[in-house]
Structures are given as structure tokens and as C-alpha cells.
Amino acid sequence: MNKETVLISGGAGYIGSHTAVALVEAGFDVVIIDNLSNSERGAIDGVERILGQKVAFELVDTCDKDALRGVFERHQFNTVIHFAAYKAVGESMDEPLKYYQNNLVSFMNIVEMMHDFNRPNILFSSSATVYGEADTLPVTEQTPRQPATSPYGNTKQIAEDILHDCCRAYAGLYGIALRYFNPIGAHPSALIGELPRGVPNNLLPFVTQTAAGIRECLSVFGDDYDTPDGTCLRDYIDVVDLAKAHVAAVRRMTAGKMAEKYEIFNVGTGRPVSVLELISRFEAVNDIKLPYKIVARRPGDVPAVWADTSLANEVLGWKAERSLDDTLRSAWAWEKHIRHMS
């Protein structure tokens, strides 16, 4: 039997590379496209080393419609996972057009090509950012979205809406949006992981770079929130677990099991963890003392958000499995690998 092929845009990126591994391990073929604007060719090497086989990779910018058309002409696949996007919240405030251009044009090009070439299934990388400061916690997929607080977040909301409209309008198109909570950690091999450029915006890369001595001190943004220890609560999802959620969603699509033409799933652990708790677990499992100081709140941060994952658990048959401790070990192993530390 021929294997199903999945096109992965942004497959050299953090979540894309882990998903490529998970898909091949689950018996799919993959074609990866990426413009390497925020990722490295080395990620593809890492994927190939883990799998012990080559994967198809093409240097393609999904904003370049002609180049993208070529990919659709050259390769047969029924399913696309669209990861390719910019993701820095702060940068999106300073350069909104860059975000709207890149994130929306690339997304619409993908959908247009799928429509033109009759390719049915698209899986879209959405984000918990669409919930904003939710009235009730944990958030379910029915929890109303709040107005986006950044152009980045707005691109996720708009792309969700575009996908919903297109699935309604085009008989042959099926869509799933996965709303990721906070992805962290790395593959247990330490051959792929997150590769932030410059000063990291996100907590975990800042933690591991501080542990490696690259950053002097971690700033904890606020300890006066209305939470148990005063620091923000988030739902940190292991990136390998997250990758497996994509496999489950792809299976649902390729098996023709979708109940609606457009479906949404939260992908998290369902467990809120505070910034201080994360720091202390990181210190404990890796036997490292992390220098940190409490500073002012970061504008735009919501006090708490975590997922109700019942829908993904029941409908996708997927559940986060890796413990927070193992995830934090893997994050440190990856940082040591890229810094050539023992």
C-alpha cells in the first residue's frame, strides 16, 4: 500500500521538525518546505539523523505563489500542515505589516493551491493566544475568542476565520485548527529543538540560555498577579506530545472521520504551571541554580490560561504523556547539545 504523504510548510521550524519526525514514525511520508527565515537547514539534518533516512526538503517561501504551485505540481499529497509563520508577539507590534503580509499571504496561498489542485485536508497551527484573557478557566474550544492584543495574535484569528469560510464554501476542503498552548522541550535525542534567534522572548529558551551562562539573569515578569504564587499560569505542552497531536489530527482527516468540515482542538496538558514552579522544577531536575529576579509585569501578558483538553482526548484519542520534569530535562539536554557542552 502506498504511504500517505503530508506536505509540511515550515517543517524546519521548532514544532514542524518534531512533527515531521512523528509523522514518519507513524508511517507517513513527508515533503518539507521552508524558507529558513527563522530556522536552520541543520534541523532537517537532525530529523534525518533521528529517522535514519532522508526526507524530501525544498527551500520554498510559501508567500511565493509560483514556487508553491511548483510544489503542488511535483508532489502528490492529500494533507498539508501549515506551520510557516512569524511568531514574535513584540515584533508584531512594531512591524504589523510584516506579520499580516507573511502570515496571511502564505496561508491564503496554501489554501488557494489546495483548492486549485483538489487537495482536501489542511491542518493549521493556531494558538491559545486567540482566547486572550478568558472569563472562565480552563478554556474549551467553545470559550469565546477575545479581540487579539497583537498583530501576531490577530493573524491567528483571521487565518482561523479564513479557513472556516473556505471549508464552508469549497466542498472538497476540510480543515482542522490546533490551538497550541505553550510548547516547550525538545526531542529526547537532543538532535532537534527550539532555536531562537537573538534574545529569546519565551520563558523556556531564556531559562536554558541563563543556565548555560549566555544570559546573566532571568527576569520574572511580575509576582503580583491573582494566582497562587503571584506569577502567571500557563499550560506548558511538550513539543513531542504536541507533534503527536498533529499525527492524530492527520489520521482523523485522512480516514475521513471528521464530524464537521472545520474543527478546532486545544492542545495542552490541562495543567496550569506558574513561572516560579517552572523555574524550581527546572532547577531540581537538572541540578542547576538559576539566577532570577522579579521585575515588572510584561505588557500584554494574561494572568492565567490553560486548556480543557477533553475534546482532543476524546475525539482525537490524544493525550499529553511526557512529564514536566522529563520535558525540562530534554530542554536542558538540547541547550547543552547546541552549545557543545557536555
Position of minimal CB gap to ligand UFG: 232
C-beta of 277 vs 301, nearer to ligand UFG: 301
Binding status of residue 275 toward ligand UFG by CB under 6 A? yes
Beta bridge partners of 237: 183
- Known catalytic residue at 292: no
Selected binder of ligand UFG within 63, 173, 203, 333 (CB under 6 A): 203
Gap between the Cα atoms of 308 and 265, Å rounded: 10
Binding track, positions 294-313, relative to ligand UFG; x by CB under 6 A: ----x--x------------
Q: How far apart are CA 270 and CA 308, in angstroms?
A: 5
Q: Of 86, 131, 152, 180, which residue is the catalytic one?
A: 152
CA angle 52, 53, 59 (to 5 degrees): 125
Nearer to ligand UFG, 67 or 302 (CB): 302
- Tell me whether the omega of the peptide bond preceding residue 151 falls within 30 degrees of 0, making it cis: no
Asked if 179 touches ligand UFG (CB under 6 A), the answer is no
Supply the minimum distance, in Å, between the C-beta of residue 88 and ligand UFG: 8
- Contact call for residues 204 and 183 (beta carbons, < 8 A): no
Under the binding rule (CB under 6 A), the answer on residue 6 touching ligand UFG is: no
Judged by beta carbon, residue 17 or residue 274, the one nearer ligand UFG is: 274
Single out the residue of 128, 139, 247, 328 in contact with ligand UFG (rule: CB under 6 A).
128
Site string for ligand UFG, 310-329 (x = CB under 6 A): --------------------
CA-to-CA dists, residue 302 to 41, 126, 200, 326, angstroms: 35, 18, 19, 26
Q: Is 273 helix (H, G, I), strand (E, B) or coil?
A: strand
Min separation Cβ 273 and ligand UFG, Å: 9
DSSP 3-state of 30: strand
The runs of H, that is alpha helices, within 56-185 are 65-74, 89-94, 96-99, 105-116, 151-169
Q: What are the residues binding ligand UFG (CB under 6 A)?
A: 87, 89, 127-129, 152-153, 182, 201-203, 206, 218-221, 232, 234, 275, 298, 301
Active-site amino acid positions: 152
